[in-house]
Chains A and B, each alone.
Chain A
Amino acid sequence: GQQLNQSPQSMFIQEGEDVSMNCTSSSIFNTWLWYKQDPGEGPVLLIALYKAGELTSNGRLTAQFGITRKDSFLNISASIPSDVGIYFCAGSYNTNAGKSTFGDGTTLTVKP
């Protein structure tokens, strides 16, 4: 099956620092999604990317769909304490009944 490698596994940063995480796949995707999960909650969609090379921002978050269609990255600028959580990438084919393959997550800790 498809494999997603998400890195880093965890990050400990100071408030105000920028953060970068990425996902690579063994096969191509038509869509990349980035979710955030707070403790005890379900994942919430942050950014969706539909086109190779696409760069999309959502506030302090920026994500890119890699040109090869096998990778994506997420940047968070000027981190704040509420950025704490687990960030998941997910890849999918639009025609694949919406099924997504998830990475194992990046756990972000922000020190005030």
Chain B
Amino acid sequence: NAGVTQTPKFRILKIGQSMTLQCTQDMNHNYMYWYRQDPGMGLKLIYYSVGAGITDKGEVPNGYNVSRSTTEDFPLRLELAAPSQTSVYFCASSFDRVIEAFFGQGTRLTVV
């Protein structure tokens, strides 16, 4: 069982560069989420999706974009990387109306 798979695991970006963090799940979950985790802090919700074709902003969406063209995939796009986006990014998924989320292993991003 793969669960939630994130790629890459690590990435260093220069200020102003763009990149896409990939997330895919094989559990047929409708709900998917992107969180960021800063050192010593809990997780903050960036964007979420309740199904293919539907996305919505979370608590900290500025500087990010998402798309959900299929149930399985939920990529997160950074258009103009800034040092404030240095963080660990977690993708998660869950069943409808059941909110226990299954998390990926994270992507550690450094913007220099």
Chain A contacts to B: CB under 8 angstroms: 1, 4, 6, 31, 33, 40-45, 48, 88, 90, 92, 94, 97-100, 102-105
Contact = CB atoms under 8 A, between A and B. Distances in A.
B42 A98 contact: no
Nearest to B43: A102
A33 B103 CA distance: 14
A100 B41 contact: no
A104 B33 contact: no
Contact of B99 (A44, A98, A103): A98
A97 B43 contact: no
The 6 A-B residue pairs whose C-beta atoms are closest, nearest first, are: A42-B103, A102-B42, A98-B99, A102-B43, A104-B42, A98-B31
Given A42-B105, A92-B99, A99 B33 contact: yes
B26 interface: no
A90 B31 CA distance: 17
Contacts of B97: 94, 98
Contact of A88 (B42, B44, B50, B99): B42
B103 A100 contact: no
B56 interface: yes
A102 B31 CA distance: 17
A29 B83 CA distance: 34
Nearest to A48: B100
Interface string B67-111: 000000000000000000000001010100111111111100000
Given A88-B43, A105-B42, A40 B99 contact: no
How big is the B interface, by class? 20 to 34
A13 to B, nearest CB: 20
Given A1-B59, A97-B56, A105-B42, A31 B99 contact: yes
A104 B99 contact: no
B33 A41 contact: no
Contacts of A102: 35, 42-44
A1 B101 CA distance: 21
B13 interface: no
Contacts of A94: 97, 99
